[in-house]
Structures are given as structure tokens and as C-alpha cells.
Structure 1
Amino acid sequence: MSRLRFKKLWLVSEATRAARKIELHSDRILLVGRNHTGKSTVVKHLFRTLGCQTKGKSDRWDSLAISVLEFELNGRPYTAYRKANVYALRSDADLQVRVTTSYAEWTEMMANLFDFRLMLPTHQDSLAQATPPYLFLPYYMDQDSSWSKQWDSFDKLTQFANWKKPVSAYVTGQRPNGYYIAKFEESKAKASLTQLNQELSVVNSALSRVRKTLPSPVIRLDLAAFKQEINDLLRSTNILKTEQDSLRKKAFEHTAQRESLNSQISMARDALREIEGDLKYLTESKTDLAIICPTCGTNHESGFPVRLELIDDAVTLRKVISELELDHRKCQEQLANVYGKINRIKRQMLDVEKTLQTKKGMLRLKDVVDSQSSEVIRSAFTKDIDSINRQLKLQEKTAFEAKFKVSQFDLPERTKAINDFYSERMELFLSELGVQDLRDDVKKRPDATVSVSGSAMPRSLLAYQFAVLHTAKEKGDAKHYPVVIDSPNQQGQDAEHLRQMLNFIVKRTPSEQQLILAVEDMPSNFSFDGQRIDLTTPFEVLKAEQYDEACEELRDFVAAIEIGLDQRLASQRIGLFEAASDLSE
């Protein structure tokens, strides 16, 4: 179980010399403020400070403003800092500060701090550590797009490909941390296998080219090496012969298929000619009602329907002939490809046979030197090949073990139990929020897409978000993180539905999780038992009178961050200097 609590948020603008301190000392917090009073700015910076790119941007907001968030994770106090691309994290227990300007490094810090091991597919067909927004998606509904589309609280989520289904599986516990750790190990092992196979192919190709350029080794100073080369050649011959037999079998099959297609095309063309002849006769005949067979005297109808049937038969036959001719061309291409491979193997077998049949002649010093050089080169290549093969076996074992671990998490009965729990909660929450029409797949699977029209959409998304939230709590890794809901009054909710949504949020937020709810004003007949923060002045969320207090309280932390940045820059300069020195040498 992981328990997170937001404790205090500082927003500081050095440009306007203004600041705002938001104390979050309760498990139930209500932010009340009309448009432009800053309630969304406050809730967005809770997540922005932790590395999330929030939606929406105000031209009035200082883009270089500092945000500092004090929070408690599993009983330990921490403070996070962000200014533009500068991130810092302080462990308040020992005052250790880590500073970075690299988002990738910050992502790794957050993953380690929150034990967040979700791996998502990149656009380069690999897996990478998920960034902070994917950790907080289940717990935040912003006012800009969360009420019209699920899993859309943050910006720039398209950095990963097809991420929604893995996120849903991770959050609900179908695929927890252990799955993604094993999946990442499997992915790394597969990538290593691919690289090693490529290296092996390059080395074998280089060895093949070198063998062609070096003189034939007519002298063997090392009997063991000579035997090894003979065995290698014989093994190559056997491999080539096996491949040749396989290709000849394929050639026979393709030839038989080609002849069969030829026969079918010929029969189809003959049938088409007969039909076209009959059609021509009927069309040119002056008799409309019937035709008497000159052989047997039987009357045959020759009206318009009969001609239509013949035309349909002709069209069908032409289509069949076209398809058969297409298959015939494909068969010819496959056969040509097979014969090309057979010819290549024949040439390789001739080269091997020539090598095996090389006869010893008069010995010269040059022959001895050439033979010895050839042997040294061959030995070097052999060592490389043996080393790569050993690494391949090791990576194959690692990939197999990781794949087995992955399979332990993909249990149908576990997935069914989780989906059943989600479905039960979804049905209940939809009923409580007065949503009638919703597709069955959305009610049964958390990875389905919510799609409803009108004012029911926000309530459907709220039911979905909380169904996932409860499933995550019961079946997932039990992350008791703050639930932050911004401005539920969206898409024309009437007073009754809005009160219904607010009461639902308060009632259904688990008691173990902090709730931060932002509303424009307090509806009638809605009571809130908790801390209330009122924001009243438009465009003045920051206060000049709080700036000095912010500077005083944050002085030591900011000073430690500046020292960390200086050390980081100094380290980078040393690295650049050493790199330049290496190049000059």
C-alpha cells in the first residue's frame, strides 16, 4: 500500500513579487472560486510541480513562476520544486536535495520514489518508463477536457503509442508492477538478441569475404585447426544440402500448383467461350419465346431472363479467370524466387567442393606465410563468433525466464475477477448519478471508451473515473493518492444533477484518500464537512503581501537548489573538456 497526502503549495512569481500559500491540512478540502480567481491554477500546480504537463494556459500567468509542493508519502515528508525545466526533490527527513534539468532524469526519480514501474510502448516499437502524468491520471479530473473525454487530464500524452489500454490494466491491477518489470526485462533481452544476431551476421559475412580474398590455405601447421576447418566445410555442405532439398520440394509444389492453375484457367476460358457463343446466338436469334433443339427437338426458353442468366454466368467466369490468373502470376513469382535460391545454393556448394578438393603442391615460404596468416585471421573470427554465440544463449535464457514471469500475471481468472468488480461498481455509480444509456462494453471493461451525448457525458465520466478508482484501491497496488476534481459543473448540468455529482464525489471518495474538490460556488442543499478555501479576487491568486514570507520560508531550499545546479553545470563542463581532450589526442 502507498499513501500520498498533499500538505502545502507555494506559488511564487519573482517577476511580480507576489506569492500564494495554500495550506492543505485536511483530508477533505473544498476550493471555492468563480472564473479567473485561480482555483484551477492551484489544482493544476499540484501536479505540474510533480512533472505533469497540465492543459490550458493563461497569458496572464508568469511562465517562470516557482511552485513548491510539500507532501507526505508513506509517512515521510518531501518537498518538490519546479521552475520551468528545473526540478528538485528534497527529503525533509534528512534535507537531501536532488536537482535536475532533465525530464527523463526527473521521471526516473519519480518512478523510484513512488515505486511506479509502468512501461509503455514508444513510437519506435520499444518500451520505456511511463512519465509522471500516467501515474496521476486516475486521480485527477481537470476542468478543460476531463469532462468530455476519459484519460485526458494532462497534455502531451501522445508521447507514447497505444497507452490507454496498458494504463487501464496497470491501474486496475490486471497488470501490476511485477508484470511491467518482467516485461521490460523481456524487452531488453529481445533487443539484445536482435543486436547480437545482427553482429553475428556481420561477422559471418566478413569472414566469408575474407576467405575469398585470402589465398587457399594449402598448408596446415595446426592439425587440429585443419580438422576443424574440414568439419566446418562438411557441416556447411550438409546445411546447404538440407536447404536445397527443402527448396526443391517447394519448387515441386509450386510447379504442381502452376499446372493446376493452368488447367483451371483453360477450362474456365473454354466455358466462357461456350457461354459467349450461346449468348451471341440468343441475341442474334429472331425467335423471342423458344428455340427448338435440332438434335432432340426439345423446346428451350430464349427470353430476356435466360440471356440475363448467361450474362451473369459470363461475368462470374471472367472474375474467376482474373483471380486464377492473379494466383498464377503469384505462383510464377514464387517459383522464380525458389529457383533463384536453388541456384545460389548450387554456387555455394561448388565453392565448398572446390575448397575440399584443393591439392597440396610444391611448398614455398610464401605458401607457409599465407597459410599461417589465414589461420590467424580465421581463429580471430572464430573467437568472436563463439563469444557472440555464448552471449546469445545467455540472452535467450533471460528472455525465456522473463517471458515466463510475464505469463504468470496474465491469468484469465484474475482478469475476470477485476472486470467483475469494476462492472459492479460501474453499474452502481451510474445508477447513483442518474445515467441511463451507456454501452454494455463500458460497463464491463475498464479499457472501453466512454461515449455519451449531452449532459450525461460528465456524469458518465465521473462514474467511470470512480469505478476505476475503487477497482484500483481493491484490486491494484492500493495507491491511496489524493483525488482532485476540478469544476464538475460542465455541459449544462441542472441544479439537481450538479448537487447529485457533488454529493457523489464526497460520498464515494475512499476515506483513506485525500479529496480536493474545486467548484465555482456552493450549491444549495450541499454540505461539505472539511476545510474550505475561498478564492475571491479575479486574476489575483498571488498576493504581494505573501511574497516576503515565501522568500523567507523557501530561502534554504532555493539556495540548496542553486548549489545543485552549479554543481551540475560544473560537472557538464568537465565532461565537455574531457571529451574535447580525447578528440584532440
Structure 2
Amino acid sequence: MKNLQLRRLLLLSAREKAAQLTTFDASKTVVLGENDTGKSCLIKSIYAAFGADSAKVNQTWKDAAVDTLVEFTIEGIPYTLLRSGSTFGLFDGDGATIWVGSNITSGIGPQIATLLDFRLTLADRKGELQVPPPAYLFLPFYVDQDVSWVENWSSFSNLQMFAGYRKDVANFHAGLRPNEYYEAKALKASADKTKDEFKVERRALDRASARLRANRKRLHFDLSPDQFVNQIDALVAECQSLQSAQDKVQGALSDLNSKRAILVEQSVIAENALADLDADYEFLRRETEDEIICPTCGTIHANDFANKFGLISDVDTCRAFLIDIRKEIEVIDAQIAAQKEQLGGFSDSITRINSILDEQRGDLKLRDIIEGESEKMMDEAVASEQKEIDSQIGTQEIKSDEAAQTMKSLDDKKRQGEIKGFYLRQMNSFVQQLHVPNLAEESYKAIDCHIRETGSDLPRGLLAYYYAFIHTMKRYSTSAFCPIVIDSPVQQDQDVANATRMIDFCLNEVPEGSQLILGTVSLHGAKYDGHVIQTDTKNKLLRTALFDEVSDLMRPFYAKLLQ
């Protein structure tokens, strides 16, 4: 399991000429601030920097067009990721470029998946398997203020691009099915798809072969070319002569058509130029001012006889040129017609060829010999292609079977039972700690369950679920482990005791070695003396005073986006 840790987040709005710079503690960071001080905007920006956008984002924040730069480590190795709109740049610890591009699913997504060894595959709406974008990697670790306290597995936007994603995502992250299972699943899907494509090709080949065989004449004698030696020699000579003549005419036609295309293009240019000159002259003729200012470049032109006369001269020259071009096109068209007529003059040669083909020896014609040999060659070619396709189908079947066996070996029912049992014990314990007495065990027994509660019990039930799942991940998963980011857990008018209980639970029940970032209006009496980020200005997370400093830090990375 690879471990991702956040170090620093930089936010920059060129539109507002303001910025923010935030450093995270390796263990716990509390983002503390009243409502509307930008606390949630900061928290939503953390995973948005990786291409995982929150389910809901404030419109004012969107309008600010904030760029993000996040510094992080994976297994202690430092990286930097810059996001500017839909463009991303990934850099190593020395600032060297690893990857630059746009798009999330096919762009930064595969880069993050490779870094964190994220091998989950899901079927898209077309039924094709692919590694999903970063939102599905970070889904267990992010609790969004706006949606996650109502419904679990819903923190990010556009999750419905994969139908029924909950079960596969939960099974993967919990370790019920490890990375290797989904790698094998992708291999099997690829082999099955390729096999099906070969089968379609095989059926098409069989249908074509059957149609050709159905139209053949049945011959009840042996085809012997020896009886037609002279006719074959004459046929070859006649065909060679015809081919040579056709090649000559086709070459001439190709040259003529190329010349005609050039002339037509010149004609169009000349016509446009003539229209412009006519318009200019008409404008000068109507204009009474002695000087005219060009609206494009601002140059002053004299509206006198000399300029008008010059335009008339240009018009006449252009018109004469256009007439010459049209005459040349007419000549070329006549030459093309002559060459096409010459092509039609090859009918005598074709008649002689047919006559040779129809010469008969008993019941046998030379045409029969040629058709028979052609059919034989076609049958051999079809048989060879069928054999090759069958071989490819067999190869893909072997790959599919091997992948299926790997999937079966990794679908360990005993291990799955152990994981589910651990999750349920954690959930039972956390439900008790958070005082959610009416949440029945049956409702949360499944590891991908929906938490169904009402009122102030719902956020506490969801918090118990999030932590039970994260503890299960930490113990059993082969997936990456990422910072736990929780925004505003005290929801639905919690009483004083429950509010304190929730904050205390968030701070003290994280798995050992985890990084927690917790956003809250208040600590509600919970004891905490760790790292705090204070947001204290209404409607103003970004600071004008930080703009130059953050711009200087981000500038070298902006430059590399354009290289």
C-alpha cells in the first residue's frame, strides 16, 4: 500500500490578484473558521488539485478561476502538481517535468493511477473497462460538507459516469478484491473483446466464402491448361498491351487534372481580387473627401485622379488575367475529353480478350481454366486466413482463461469474510461511541451500504461508517492510503455533547500513521493543541498581500506548462 501525504497547497487567482498559501502538518491539521470565510473552498481545493472536483462548488469560487499547486509525497518521494483550469503539470521533487497535458480521465488520471498503483477497473457506459479518474481513488478519504453528510460514496462530481460504481469501489478499497484482481479482470476483458472481434471477422469470412461458392459453375472434368498454350500466350500479350495503353492514358489524365486544379484555384483568387478592386473603385468614386483613412491600419490615402486611375488599371489587368486563365481551362478540358475518349477506344482489345477466353476444346473453354485456377487460389487464401483467425481466437481464449483463473484465486471467500467481520466490529464500536442508538446493524452490515438515518443521528451514523471503512482499508487494502479530509462534521443541529463527541472522534480515532485535515467552525470543547489554519475574513479566503509571493513560487511551473 502506497502512502500519499500532503505538504503544501498554493491557491492563485490572476483574476482577483489574490492568493493563499497553506502548509499541512504530517499528522493533523484543523482548518478553523466561521461560515463564509472560505474554509470549505480551501478544503474542496485539496483533491480538486488532483483532478477530483467536489460535488458542489461555490459559484463565486468558480468565477475567481483559482489555479492550484499542491506539493505532496508518495512513500516519502516529493512531487508537485499544478492545475490551471483543465491543464495539469506533474513535476518531480527537483521541478523537472514528468507530464504535462489536459483532460482528467485520459490525462492526469492515468498519471496519478500509476504513481499510486491504482488498478481498479470499471465498465463505462459503452461497456468498456478502464481505470477510473482520481475521484474514485480519493472517494473513501474525502467527506464533503455539502453532500457527504446526507449520502456516503457521493463526495465528488460526475461519479455516475460509471453505473453502479459503489459496490466495485467499496470492494476494491476495502481489500475484498485487491489490485491484482482488477488487473486480471482488465486482461480478461481485453482478451474477450479481441476474441469476439476475431469471431466476427471469421463469420464474415465464412459468409463471403459461402456466397462465392454458391455462384460457381459445376465442372465435371479436369481442367488442363496444356490444351490452351497458344491461347494463353496470346491472352498474356493482349493483356500486357492493354495495360500499357491504359497506364499511358491514365498518366496523361492525372497530369491534366492536376493542371486544371491549379488553374481553377488561380481563377478563384483572380475573381476575388477583381471583386475587391471593383468595390474599392466604386468606393473612391462615391467618396467626396480629398483624403481617406484606412479603417484597418490608419494609413491616410489621397482620393485623387491618380489613385482612381491606378485602380482602373489594376482592374483591367486582373480582368485580362482572368480571361486568359479561363481560356487555358477550356483547352485543358478539351484535352481531358480526348483522353477519356481514347480510354473508350480500348473496346477492340477487350473483345479480342473475350474471344480468346471463349475458344473451346471439346466442352472446355480457356475461361473455365482461368476461373477454376482463380477459385482454387481463392479457396487456399480463404483457408489460410481462416486458420490464422482460428489460431488468434485460440490464443485469446487461453489469455481469457488464465485471467479468469487468476481472478478466481484472488476472490478469497475466507479473506473476504475476515474483512467484512473486521469492518462490522469497527462499525458496531463506532456507532456506540457516537451515540447512534437507533441505527440497526442490519442496515450497515454490507460494506457498500447506504446509511439510512434521520435528523442529527444521520451525520453521526455516516461518520461512524467513514471511519469504520478507513480502518478496514488501513488494515486490509492493497490500494493507496491518502490524507483523510473531513469538512464540517457537526451538521443537523447537534447538541453540545454530540458536537464535542464528533470533533473528538474525528481527531482521535484516525488510524495510526494517517494524515487528517479537519475543517470546522469550532472545536466545540474538544481538546486539540496541534496545527491550526485559521480562516477569519468573511468572503475572503484569498489574500491580496500574498499574490506576489505565491505568483513567484508558481511561475516556474507555469512556464513548463507551455514548453
Check the 8 A contact 1:97/1:560 in 2, yes or no: no
In structure 2, the residue matched to 1:213 is 215
Residue deviations 1:74-94 (CA, integer Å, cap 9, x gap)? 011011111111011111146
Q: Describe how 1:117-516 pairs up with structure 2 within 5 A.
A: 117-216=119-218, 218=220, 362-477=363-478, 479-516=480-517
1:215 CA drift (Å): 3.1
In structure 2, the residue matched to 1:54 is 54
CA change 1:478–1:217 in 2 (3 A) is same
Residue deviations 1:284-312 (CA, integer Å, cap 9, x gap)? xxxxxxxxxxxxxxxxxxxxxxxxxxxxx
Residue deviations 1:425-478 (CA, integer Å, cap 9, x gap)? 010000000011223334432122211111111111111111110000111126
Q: Distance in 1 between matches of 2:491 and 2:83?
A: 30
In structure 2, the residue matched to 1:560 is 560
In structure 2, the residue matched to 1:353 is none
Q: Distance in 2 between matches of 1:205 and 1:88?
A: 52
Q: Distance in 2 between matches of 1:221 and 1:119?
A: 59
Check the 8 A contact 2:173/2:479 in 1, yes or no: no
Greater Cα shift, 375-384 or 183-192: 375-384
Check the 8 A contact 2:444/2:450 in 1, yes or no: no
* Matched letter for residue 531 of structure 2: Q
1:21 is aligned to 2:21:
yes
* Paired residue secondary structure (1:479): coil
1:26 CA drift (Å): 3.9
1:522 CA drift (Å): 2.8
Check the 8 A contact 1:473/1:479 in 2, yes or no: no
In structure 2, the residue matched to 1:547 is 547
Residue deviations 1:12-56 (CA, integer Å, cap 9, x gap)? 001111111011134110111111111111111110010102122
In structure 2, the residue matched to 1:41 is 41
Check the 8 A contact 1:422/1:445 in 2, yes or no: no
Percent identity over paired residues:
31
Greater Cα shift, 19-28 or 72-81: 19-28
Check the 8 A contact 1:216/1:371 in 2, yes or no: no
* Paired residue secondary structure (2:122): strand
Check the 8 A contact 1:174/1:409 in 2, yes or no: no
* Paired residue secondary structure (1:466): helix
User: Unmatched 5+ residue regions in structure 2?
Assistant: 225-361
* Matched letter for residue 44 of structure 1: K
Residue deviations 1:204-229 (CA, integer Å, cap 9, x gap)? 0111111123333656669xxxxxxx
1:481 CA drift (Å): 1.7
1:376 CA drift (Å): 1.2
* Matched letter for residue 154 of structure 1: F
* Matched letter for residue 556 of structure 1: P
Residue deviations 1:485-536 (CA, integer Å, cap 9, x gap)? 1001111111111111111111111230111010012312x11131011101
Check the 8 A contact 1:217/1:370 in 2, yes or no: no
Check the 8 A contact 2:118/2:480 in 1, yes or no: no
Check the 8 A contact 1:54/1:154 in 2, yes or no: yes
Check the 8 A contact 2:9/2:70 in 1, yes or no: yes
Q: Distance in 2 between matches of 1:9 and 1:528?
A: 23
CA change 1:479–1:471 in 2 (3 A) is same
Q: Distance in 2 between matches of 1:180 and 1:546?
A: 45
Q: Distance in 2 between matches of 1:421 and 1:491?
A: 29
Q: Distance in 2 between matches of 1:501 and 1:464?
A: 13
Check the 8 A contact 1:427/1:443 in 2, yes or no: no
Greater Cα shift, 210-219 or 93-102: 210-219
In structure 2, the residue matched to 1:314 is none
Residue deviations 1:318-372 (CA, integer Å, cap 9, x gap)? xxxxxxxxxxxxxxxxxxxxxxxxxxxxxxxxxxxxxxxxxxx833322211110
Residue deviations 1:207-265 (CA, integer Å, cap 9, x gap)? 1111123333656669xxxxxxxxxxxxxxxxxxxxxxxxxxxxxxxxxxxxxxxxxxx
Q: Distance in 2 between matches of 1:515 and 1:490?
A: 19
Check the 8 A contact 1:133/1:154 in 2, yes or no: yes
1:59 CA drift (Å): 2.7
* Matched letter for residue 36 of structure 2: H
Count of residues in Structure 1 that have an aligned counterpart in Structure 2: 425
In structure 1, the residue matched to 2:528 is 528
CA change 1:364–1:399 in 2 (3 A) is same
Q: Distance in 2 between matches of 1:377 and 1:363?
A: 21
Q: Distance in 2 between matches of 1:128 and 1:219?
A: 59
Q: Distance in 2 between matches of 1:51 and 1:82?
A: 8
* Matched letter for residue 462 of structure 2: L
Q: CA RMSD in A?
A: 1.7
Q: Distance in 2 between matches of 1:199 and 1:87?
A: 41
Q: Distance in 2 between matches of 1:206 and 1:478?
A: 50
Q: Distance in 1 between matches of 2:377 and 2:438?
A: 78
User: Unmatched 5+ residue regions in structure 1?
Assistant: 223-360, 564-585
Output the TM-score relative to the length of structure 2.
0.73
Check the 8 A contact 2:179/2:479 in 1, yes or no: no
Check the 8 A contact 1:123/1:160 in 2, yes or no: yes
Residue deviations 1:179-199 (CA, integer Å, cap 9, x gap)? 000000001111111111111
* Paired residue secondary structure (1:396): helix
Q: Distance in 2 between matches of 1:474 and 1:207?
A: 60
In structure 2, the residue matched to 1:76 is 77
In structure 1, the residue matched to 2:279 is none
1:96 CA drift (Å): 2.6
Q: Distance in 2 between matches of 1:45 and 1:407?
A: 40
* Paired residue secondary structure (1:60): helix
CA change 1:363–1:489 in 2 (3 A) is same
Output the TM-score relative to the length of structure 1.
0.70
Check the 8 A contact 2:49/2:81 in 1, yes or no: yes
CA change 1:398–1:26 in 2 (3 A) is closer
* Matched letter for residue 395 of structure 2: L
In structure 1, the residue matched to 2:8 is 8
